[in-house]
Amino acid sequence: MQNAKIRKKINKVLLYLLLCLLALIYVLPFLQIIGNSLKTYWETQEIPPKLLPKVPQWRNYMDIWVKMDLPLLRWFLNTVFTTSMIVLGIVISCSYIAYGFARFNGRGKNLWFSAIMCTMFIPIYAKIIPVYIIYGKLGFVDSFLALIVEPFFGSALYMFLFRQFILSIPRDMDEAALIDGAGYFKIFTKIIIPMLKPAIAAVSILAFVAAWGDYFTPMIFLRTSTKFTISVGLAFINSTVTSGRSNAHWLAAVTVLTSIPSLIIFFSAQKYFIGGLTVGAIKG
């Protein structure tokens, strides 16, 4: 019995050590970026690179706004706008479509739902050419509409998450509301939506992180530099770094600032995020 307890403690310690090692592997590059953002230009060129600067250069975070001569604020505002619209579109469209699949029966419902789920396996690179042609004819190229229109038509992954959560809500509440004279839209807005808050938080976080860090889509559709999102702007700054026209420590500072909104959103709503994923997973 005593040996079993000792073995259990040893296994637990080894597990924690392994988890700490894996966490370090993921965290170390970000710590290196933070360190680079506080270095001088010449310190960023040292080989082997050092994690911490000799003297933290906090002024780097001021210099990126003053000396880089780039529309950083515009890029941030563009990203805030497009990300907000994408999250709004996904929450509205996916929750409503998921409500239909979870609550209504019809011929071929499961077949349609399976077909929608299969779209998750189609890479964006396979559909980008026809989408670009369509958006070009609609005049969406070099416009934020190219980024924010599609989410208002739903997304398979988020639709699936909403559907799983709605399936965990008892139908008795719907039936009681119908007896009281409520319509389906009122049931959705007054009963389902309030109970969907954990799922909405989870989907919003996932959609926010994906949209905030999306590089491929805005890179394809946006042409004017003042319309860039921050991810495309980072790539532009990186290209100037490699051509010797800018400084790597400024690039690191911009990268750190770019990461802050996603971290704030995740940690501020972490409880709802985990709850939304776990509750929706118990119902198949």
Q: Are residues 9 and 93 in the same domain?
A: no
The verdict on residue 64 lying in a domain is no
The verdict on residue 237 lying in a domain is yes
The C-alpha atoms of residue 61 and residue 44 are separated, in whole angstroms, by 15
Burial of residue 114 (number of CB atoms within 10 Å: 0-12, 13-18, 19+): exposed
The C-alpha atoms of residue 160 and residue 162 are separated, in whole angstroms, by 6
The verdict on residue 249 lying in a domain is yes
Domain holding 38, by residue range, is 2-58
| pLDDT at residue number 279 | 55
Collapsing DSSP states into helix, strand and coil, what is residue 129? helix
User: Could you give the dihedral angle defined by the CA atoms of residues 92, 98, 103 and 106, in that order, rounded to the nearest 10 degrees?
Assistant: 120
Q: How many residues does the chain have?
A: 284
Half-sphere exposure of 137 (CA within 13 A, CB side): 5
Cis peptide, bond prior to residue 49, ω within 30 of zero: no
The C-alpha atoms of residue 14 and residue 153 are separated, in whole angstroms, by 47
Q: Are residues 53 and 114 in the same domain?
A: no
| pLDDT at residue number 240 | 66
**Number of domains observed in the structure of the chain:** 2
Query: DSSP secondary-structure letter at 284?
Result: -
Q: Using alpha carbons, select from 219, 240, 241 the residue that is nearest to residue 230.
A: 219
Q: Is the pTM above the cut of 0.85?
A: no
User: Which two three-digit tokens encode residue 12?
Assistant: 């637990």
Q: Are residues 43 and 107 in the same domain?
A: no
Mean pLDDT by runs of 10 across the 284 residues of the chain is 74 87 85 84 78 82 81 91 95 92 84 88 86 91 92 90 87 82 84 86 89 91 90 82 65 88 80 62 48
Q: Are residues 9 and 147 in the same domain?
A: no
